[in-house]
A and B are shown apart, each in its own frame.
Chain A
């Protein structure tokens, strides 16, 4: 325990869902932007051999993946201070769920890396 240890609180439970909330946001963003891009004709414009549609989708995919991965570091730091009843279980579970969410984000969005966008 460090000097900053504190009892785990109800609000800390948000860490159990934070990772997958990012996954859900990323999933919705990629799916939604895909529809908007195809409707708005982003496929026609582009940069460096990539269509604007692809660039937007890649940004959403990589951005959410990075955000999900970035959650891990504050989580580990904050969870290390938790003590008392439930601290260990909530810490373990939150870390597992957060890592699972990052993997899920990488997996479900991966098709933007190689599939055609508007067919």
Chain B
């Protein structure tokens, strides 16, 4: 019998949603569990990065300090930046997003729970590789930006740089997974009535951030792959003596690196936009203005990357473009700041604990923004370049714009996790130590930099005027570290001994506070109908109504894990998303990749493919578990609504996710083509030799790829007409065309392309061909998989996800493949 009481609903839901314990916890995919794992792991890395910072400050506290040698110092400052950026900041954002999104959107989980679990394992394994390397004394030591030629094998011959390139690439897989997860979840997996205009601002911020991640991370991944290929196989992408260019690395790195600053800032700003109205007891001022500002900010942040390269000799006109964009980006940032100030002025602000940290954010971040405008000006930038002024600026921006808001967010949302509130005043003492210690460390560092102290030096001579400022910075650093230690103690105290409360301790108006605390595994016993931006203000009994099952999909009458998918714009329910139960597949797939990356790192190249085979096998198993062998009946979603199941509708989230993954993939490929064009326009003696391929071969490849795409599309159309015989023939045709294309491409790579270690032209041409080969190979697998799915009965005119996915993939492969080959051919002298 279906339970109808709140307790009965809770028991029924928790029985199927709760995460397993013991070794089975490795199979957990629930967003709360995965989000918590991300957050806790990120804070552990934050502590490690903090210890490294203390070592740096101890070394620089006095001149000619024998505490650390140059080699150890290089590893420590490289690891500090690497850990803080890649293993703390980004994963913390991912964790917060994965944990919070379903709760603020009125959903029970994310769009792809297994994808976020897979992302976590990639993060953990990749981070562990880097950490183990540090313990073994072979940590990266070329700076967190890994500039070439310093990071090339000539000047960094050991595995230190490889640790960074492979470890960070592994970790960034998790970032791309999280980005796809976030975008699709925000757009589709919301509760009924949550139109875009009613979405919490935090969801807008995370949506824009995730979209940025899809475009920003691929250039870094590409750069890392190219540099690793250079180091491992001598393909000279960055070697100027063989037609490469070190500046290409800087472009690829900062194409990621500058948007990264805003990727870190925007979610933190989302927390600010969430907390300020709550503690000012009013509504946010300028909702639409803020949304417009963050969209503008997201785009503009991609037009700033060269301001990290102002001193590289780029022509003045180019510098001016990027200088102008760097100044312009302050405008949308200011729009948000003014909206926050206006909200504070309109309301009745309460100086509670999270607000204290927000005040810290205001004072620190605005100073960082102002020095950012200074650095946007080319003449000043040239003077301050590579000095401690820049170090001070970036810490004001990152700690001010990220750490302070995230500490505020921690205090705000921790009660949701723990069901407890802080009882001791330790938190305030922690704030003041962090705040004063921060300014003690970095305010004076501006002047140290203006007095000429360069970055990344392990020691300095006395008598240059740097002794006292450095000592003050070091003392400030240790004060700040004491503050962070106190923060950790406070969190532990709150978690263990905090005051229990019933619901909504801060008076929040969002759905996150409409659930019991600590948040249950399923979030909502039933999914509410939202009628405004502040659901708890519109209906103060909303929490009780949800718990009593007075919403959609109450309880678990079918024993399935269910949540709603809605129309993107209006929030009208479209279908029911059936979510996967706990599964070891993400763990083993990530473990397979760990084998690949570790083997590659240790130069065991014959073992590396084994890891890929393991990952591919589990990936196949993952996909095979989707869908069903018969057309599902409509589900009674409650409130008189009957909805289809997600895999029986055209707008299935799986396909949306595939499209966003392909967007990231296109950014990767676009960066590769940019690399080709960059070298063609800037490198000396380019190109020295041309692709020696016959036009017939090139035409054969193009026809094969185009045919594979056309046949896959015809198969999809046949499937929608229920012409099952024709769909199999077209699918087999697509498979055959892909196989033919693969063979021709292999012929091109092996017989016609110049040896890739001879010149950057040969290397990047081979990289483009390799990309097309990989995608054609995956096209073969897609077509074979869909044929097998058709034979097994998983595909029908309603259940068409496999068909549509294959058609999309083959089309992407054809466009990118033909486009890439066209570029190679049409570049002057492209064919011999």
A residues engaging B (CB < 8 A)? 7-10, 12-13, 16-17, 20-21, 23-24, 27, 30-32, 34-36, 38-39, 84-86, 88-90, 92-93, 96-97, 100-101, 104, 107-112, 115-119
Q: Report chain B residues within 8 Å CB of A8.
A: 569-570
- Contact (Cβ within 8 A) A20 B681: no
- Give the B interface residue count (CB, 8 A): 37
How many Å lie between the Cα of A16 and that of B569 in the bound state?
12
How many Å lie between the Cα of A109 and that of B324 in the bound state?
8
Q: Report chain A residues within 8 Å CB of B291.
A: 89, 93
How many Å lie between the Cα of A90 and that of B287 in the bound state?
11
Residue B196 at the chain A interface, CB threshold 8 Å: yes
Q: Report chain B residues within 8 Å CB of A89.
A: 196-197, 287-288, 291
21 A–B contacts, CB within 8 A, in A order: A9-B569, A10-B568, A17-B295, A20-B300, A23-B299, A27-B303, A27-B321, A34-B317, A34-B318, A35-B318, A35-B682, A36-B681, A39-B682, A85-B569, A89-B288, A93-B295, A97-B296, A101-B296, A104-B328, A111-B317, A118-B317
Q: How would residues 653 to 685 of chain B score, 1 for a CB under 8 Å from any chain A CB and 0 otherwise?
A: 000000000000000000000000110011000
How many Å lie between the Cα of A89 and that of B682 in the bound state?
46
User: Which single residue of chain B is at the shortest CB-CB distance from A38?
Assistant: B315
Q: How would residues 304 to 328 of chain B score, 1 for a CB under 8 Å from any chain A CB and 0 otherwise?
A: 0000000000011110110011001
- Contact (Cβ within 8 A) B324 A85: no
How many Å lie between the Cα of A112 and that of B572 in the bound state?
48
- Contact (Cβ within 8 A) A31 B292: no
Residue B717 at the chain A interface, CB threshold 8 Å: no
Q: Which of A16, A38, A93, A101 has the most CB of B within 10 A?
A: A93
Using known A-B contacts A107-B324, A108-B328, determine if residue A90 contacts B197 with beta carbons closer than 8 Å: yes
CB proximity of A92 to chain B, nearest CB, Å: 4
How many Å lie between the Cα of A117 and that of B68 in the bound state?
47
Number of CB contacts from chain A to chain B under 8 A: 119
CB proximity of A81 to chain B, nearest CB, Å: 14
User: Which single residue of chain B is at the shortest CB-CB distance from A85?
Assistant: B195
- Contact (Cβ within 8 A) A115 B324: no
Given A20-B300, A85-B572, A86-B569, list of 9 further CB < 8 A pairs?
Answer: A7-B569, A8-B569, A9-B568, A13-B196, A16-B295, A90-B569, A96-B288, A100-B332, A115-B316
Q: Which of A32, A35, A119 has the most CB of B within 10 A?
A: A35
How many Å lie between the Cα of A109 and that of B325 in the bound state?
9
B residues engaging A (CB < 8 A)? 187, 193, 195-198, 287-289, 291-292, 295-296, 299-300, 302-303, 315-318, 320-321, 324-325, 328, 332, 567-572, 677-678, 681-682
- Contact (Cβ within 8 A) A88 B197: yes
Using known A-B contacts A24-B302, A35-B682, A107-B328, determine if residue A100 contacts B292 with beta carbons closer than 8 Å: yes
Q: Report chain B residues within 8 Å CB of A118.
A: 315, 317
Q: Report chain B residues within 8 Å CB of A109.
A: 321
Using known A-B contacts A20-B296, A24-B299, determine if residue A34 contacts B569 with beta carbons closer than 8 Å: no
- Contact (Cβ within 8 A) A100 B296: yes
How many Å lie between the Cα of A32 and that of B306 in the bound state?
13
Q: Report chain B residues within 8 Å CB of A23.
A: 299, 303
How many Å lie between the Cα of A23 and that of B571 in the bound state?
30
CB proximity of A56 to chain B, nearest CB, Å: 13
Using known A-B contacts A93-B288, A110-B324, determine if residue A104 contacts B569 with beta carbons closer than 8 Å: no
Q: Which of B289, B570, B571 has the most CB of A within 10 A?
A: B570
Q: Report chain A residues within 8 Å CB of B302.
A: 24
- Contact (Cβ within 8 A) B568 A85: no
